[in-house]
Chain A
Amino acid sequence: MVIKFTINGDEMEVDVKPNETLLDVLRNKLFVTGPKEGCGNGECGACTVIYNGKPMNSCLILAPEADGAEIFTVEGLTKDGKLHPIQEAFIEENAFQCGFCTPGFLMSAKALLERNPNPSKEEIVEALSGNLCRCTGYDTIIKAVKKAAEKMGARS
């Protein structure tokens, strides 16, 4: 079946099967490879995309469910070659090593800062609790989100 959705603002039409997940389609049919498959079971957050404004695990969404959805991925963060403040903050705080988990963290962080521009440490931990990182540890990631909040506050 053919479904339509937007990815980072671009309209797309793609032929999908009901037993494909949104993550399968993004990665294997549209070559949007920012979202990663870690567990395929909703447990690691590597596949997190912002779906109709909310972070969700794209591995738990059947592709046809996404018909009509607005999807935002890490590919949409960079504008005209300029990094998003959240990306800058992750670099400045050394908030990644292998980077496999990073696109998912960036999506959860972006959605958090949109609903709560000045989150406390506890609120950051809560919002990121569905994202696992196997190499960096969470301290620098939490610091990066704090710093991103400051940067974004200063710019608006």
Chain B
Amino acid sequence: MERGEYMIPHDFSYFRPATLDEALDMLSEDGMIPIMGSTDVVVKLRARRLKPKGIVDLKAIEELHNFSFSKENGMVIGAAVTMNELIEDHPEVKENYPVFYQAIKKVGAYQTRNRATVAGNIGNSSPAADSVPPLLTYNAKLKLVSKEGEREVELKDFFTGPGKNILKQGEIIHSIIVPYEGPSIGMYYKLSRIKAVDLSTIGVALTVIDPDGKRDIRIALASVAPTPLRVFEAEDFIRGKELTPEVVEEFAKIVQRNTSPITDSRGTKEYRYEMAYVLPKKILRELGLYKEVS
């Protein structure tokens, strides 16, 4: 059989260990990479952007499929839990983390979400990763494990550049831990060239924790900087203030000022920069939190 241009051009080995210990042993070797849903990895293999010596499929490891939620401990998402499982099988996600729920519903198509995982979305470390901005607004943490042991890191400290992160060879994301800080409302606004199956031109997650009480507004963006970006400066500015048109205007300007977009096939830097100002206002308006004076 002729190997056509779409086929994966180079050889590698494949392993599917049943235990975490075996997997971590295998991954400690240079050239070995983990996969979950393989939706990013297969595309990169085909495009010759990834040439691993071996692939360690983590899907057979039982403990990575765990999901739990409680108000005391928050939500713990095992690395192997797919996005559709979060959307369809765990109503706690929609109920307690609505902005995260909206964002994962916008990832790819139904078929993609039957494979795609949040761990893979984070591991891939694209500035466009849709699950990340809402997780940043919810103060998510990662449990990382390797042969040497485990550590917990803040998601905001994980990314170091496009496709880059702090993971060491042999270290994997074991689970994503999302604290529960009270009820929240908000919106994930994703602009893309087409509605389904496209990465974002820009994504904005605006989360309001405890909307009827302390009203803590948080904001994070995708595709406007080398890494997903949470804008603490804007949050500090707006904290405790009445949402007058002037305050909201200044908030949006601070968000915009913190971005450093580039031009690529999905949009120009000028468009992204403009939208980083327009969308925060639009979201606050659509949430009914303020009205522009007419």
- Chain A residues proximal to chain B, CB less than 8 Å: 1, 17-21, 24, 28-29, 37, 40-43, 45, 48, 51, 54-57, 59-62, 64-65, 67, 108, 126-127, 129-131
CB contacts (< 8 Å) of A18 on chain B: these are: 11-14, 55
Q: Is the CB of B197 within 8 A of A129?
A: yes
Q: Are A108 and B42 in contact (CB under 8 A)?
A: no
User: B115 near A56 (CB under 8 angstroms)?
Assistant: yes
The residues in B between 23 and 46 inclusive whose CB is less than 8 angstroms from any CB of A are: 35, 37-39, 42-43, 45-46
Asked if residues A37 and B38 are in contact (CB atoms below 8 Å), the reply is: no
Minimal Cβ-Cβ distance residue in B for A112: B110
Residues of B within 8 A of A65 (CB): 14, 16, 38, 57, 59
Complex Cα gap A104–B7 (Å): 20
Q: Which residues of B contact A61 (CB under 8 A)?
A: 38, 42, 115
Do A19 and B11 touch across chains, with their CB atoms under 8 A apart? yes
**CB of B8 within 8 A of chain A?**
yes
A64–B16 touching, CB < 8 Å: yes
Chain A CB within 8 A of B109 CB:
yes
B residues less than 8 Å from A108 (CB atoms): 110-111
Taking CB atoms, residues of chain A closer than 8 Å to B1 are 28-29
Contact B11 A17 (CB under 8 A): yes
Are B11 and A129 in touch, CB under 8 angstroms?
no
Most chain A CB neighbours (cut-off 10 Å) among B13, B57, B110, B112? B110
- The residue that B108 contacts in the complex, of A42, A54, A127, with Cβ under 8 A, is A42
Task: Determine the residue in chain A with the shortest Cβ distance to B3.
Answer: A24
B199 to chain A, nearest CB (A): 11
